[in-house]
Amino acid sequence: MADLIYVASIARSLENTLLGSDKITRLVFAESFDAALKILAENGFGNAGEGVDAMIAAEEQKLARFMKEAEGIKGLDSFSLRNDYHNAKALMKAKYGGIAEPDFMLAPAGKTDVEELKECVMNDDYAKLPPQMAKALAEIDVHFATAPHSGRYIDEVLDKAMYAHVLEASKKAGSIEKYWQIEIDHANVQLFLRGKKHGMRMSAGSFMPGGTIGADFFAAAEGESEEAVLDKLCYTSVAKSVKEYLQTRSFARFEACKDNAQLQMFAADRYDLFSVAPVAGYYVAKKTELKAVKMILTLLKINADKALIKERLREFYV
């Protein structure tokens, strides 16, 4: 098992490598896509000169290697599981979509070796995989034996398995367990609001279990107006995000507020080397940075309005 103080010390040191709000702002106002790449290269982001995808992939690999250092520390393993479930989704879509070379779809390994996961999925043999994942993969196989193949169905089944798995891995791990509950609550509320917006009735099975807002809340809210539901949500874990949504009617801002809330959970204790906060905080900050860089570069490439970019920005750790 990793030594918490040692890993927390590394995390505190790695904070100095984060781009931070000033450099992210420079990216937003870069004159062009190429100018933004130059800013990233100047600040040691990724492998300069190998293209944007390679730069981002290099940073993701660095983060995955760092999280390997934290393996075995209660709660922190849950973050690595996200990559495993991303890869499971990608491999199932490749298997049922006839994609022979799925490597471009894969994230760095979390707790499960990528090649081992690939072999298990392609051979329909899930015995070596975690039980939550194995059960979900088998369920998809059974469903697709008689039903049309659907990427959305793969996502839904594996998302439910992932959230059950990460909640189990972070149980009684304080802030990390709350991190995942916040994510589940926001995912469910956004699903409900999108359904409401398009006049779709959501079944109880559509929602992810494990959050602090239960399926019974959404069942009771089906017959209510959107305004009435939003008013009730202002007294729940998603209050700040809902208030932002009420002002902007923007799901981009709703998601940004969710990311901000998760980041701030660890900020107050980031100097406490005897807690998981420095490690969790760095991980969440780096994921926020990567999300921001991908978004900014994508929008710069199509010459999007700067206001559209700023709408999607999150808060930053440094």
All residue ranges of the chain with pLDDT < 70 are 1, 48-49, 315-318
Give the span between the Cα atoms of 61 and 120, in whole angstroms.
Answer: 22
Question: 205 and 230 in contact (C-beta within 8 Å)?
Answer: no
Cα–Cα distance, 87 to 158 (Å, whole number): 10
Look at residue 317 in the predicted model and tell me its pLDDT.
53
User: Pick from 304, 177, 200: which is nearest to 252 by CA?
Assistant: 304
List Cβ neighbours of 269 (8 Å cut-off, separation of 6 or more). Answer: 175, 275, 277, 278, 281
Separation between Cα atoms, residue 86 and residue 109, nearest integer Å: 10
* CA distances (Å), origin 210, targets 15, 161, 182: 31, 11, 10
Residue among 261, 191, 245, 241 nearest 221 (CA): 191
pLDDT at position 310 is: 78
CA dist 34 and 297 (Å) reads 9
What is the rounded radius of gyration, in angstroms, for the C-alpha atoms of the chain?
20
Per-residue pLDDT tens over the stretch 129-157: 999 999 999 999 999 999 999 999 999 99
> Maximum distance among all alpha carbons in the chain?
55
**The pair of three-digit structure tokens given for residue 167, joined into one six-digit string:** 């909640």
Supply the DSSP string of 129-148, one letter for each residue: S-HHHHHHHHHHHHHHTTS-
Q: What is the pLDDT of residue 231?
A: 94
pLDDT at 49: 66
**Are the C-beta atoms of 166 and 196 separated by less than 8 Å?**
no
Amino acid at 279: V
List, in order, residues 6 or more apart from 17 with CB less than 8 Å away: 44
Global pTM reads 0.91
**Number of CB atoms found within 10 A of residue 31's CB:** 9
> What is the reported pLDDT for 316?
67
Tokens representing 35?
């100018």
Q: How many CA atoms lie within 13 A of 169 on its CB side?
A: 23
3-state secondary structure 66-121: HHHHCCCCCCCHHHHHHHHHHHHHHHHHHHHHCCCCHHHHCCCCCCCCHHHHHHHH
CATH number among 1.10.1060, 1.10.760, 1.20.1070, 1.20.1690, domain 76-169: 1.20.1690
